[in-house]
Structure formats: structure tokens, C-alpha cells
Amino acid sequence: MVKVQGFVNATPDYEEHHKVLNGFSDLMLDVFGDKGSHARSVFGAVSLRDQLPIIVDSIFQVEE
């Protein structure tokens, strides 16, 4: 796991976007162990396609 970027659908006054993405980060660590450690950024959005609550964009490095 290299990097995670999250977009959280929220009202303009919501300030805890990072806590929403914590669940995904915790899951990646549970699944991949130390290899699930990653850089991360999160953004708030007042509208996401199809009214999704969150969109997560991830970059993985795969070794053969």
C-alpha cells in the first residue's frame, strides 16, 4: 500500500473527515500488516457522485 486519498461527503461545517478515513486505514493495516502502512490525504466534499458517502482512491505497489 503506497497512498490513500479519500473524499468524504459532508456538510460545510463538518471538520472530522480524517476520522471517517481512519476506518479504511485501520482495515488496510489489519489485512496487510506492516505492508498496509501508507501515506494519506482526505478532503471534504459537499457533493459526490451518486450521493456516495465516501470515495477512496488507493495506490498499491505489487511485487512479483
Three-state secondary-structure class, residue 51: helix
CATH of 3-59, one of 3.30.1330.40, 3.40.50.12160, 3.30.950.10, 3.30.420.300: 3.30.1330.40
pTM for the complete prediction? 0.82
**pLDDT tens digits for range 22-60:** 999 999 999 999 999 999 999 999 999 999 999 999 999
pLDDT value of residue 58: 96
Q: At 23, which helix (H) or strand (E)?
A: helix 17-32
DSSP state of 21: H
pLDDT value of residue 64: 85
